[in-house]
Amino acid sequence: MIEHRLYSIEKWTSKGRIHDELVLTTPARATWYALQGYEVFDFHKSLEMEPEYYENEGLSIIGN
């Protein structure tokens, strides 16, 4: 089983926000986003929620 958490992923430039999504993904993938310059907020950690566990690793984008 692979741990997944809910994250807010944002990227900013001097002109404003250019990327804003809620994603359900693995902590490793969230770290990848952070290394690429995105701001990453972990909702599971901040709300003291238990992570979700799935058999497959994936990325689910929530919203539009």
For position 64, what pLDDT does the model report?
Answer: 53
Phi then psi dihedrals of residue 46, to 5 deg: -65, -30
Residue extents of the structural domains in the chain: 2-62
pLDDT over 90 (residue 33): yes
Output 55 or 36, whichever has higher pLDDT: 36
The model's pTM is 0.78
**pLDDT-based confidence at residue 48 (cuts at 50, 70, 90):** confident
Element of type H or E holding 10: strand 2-13
Q: How far is Cα 42 from Cα 4, in angstroms, rounded to an integer?
A: 11
| Better-scored residue on pLDDT, 46 or 41 | 41
> What one-letter code names the amino acid at 47?
L
Beta bridge partners of 3: 53
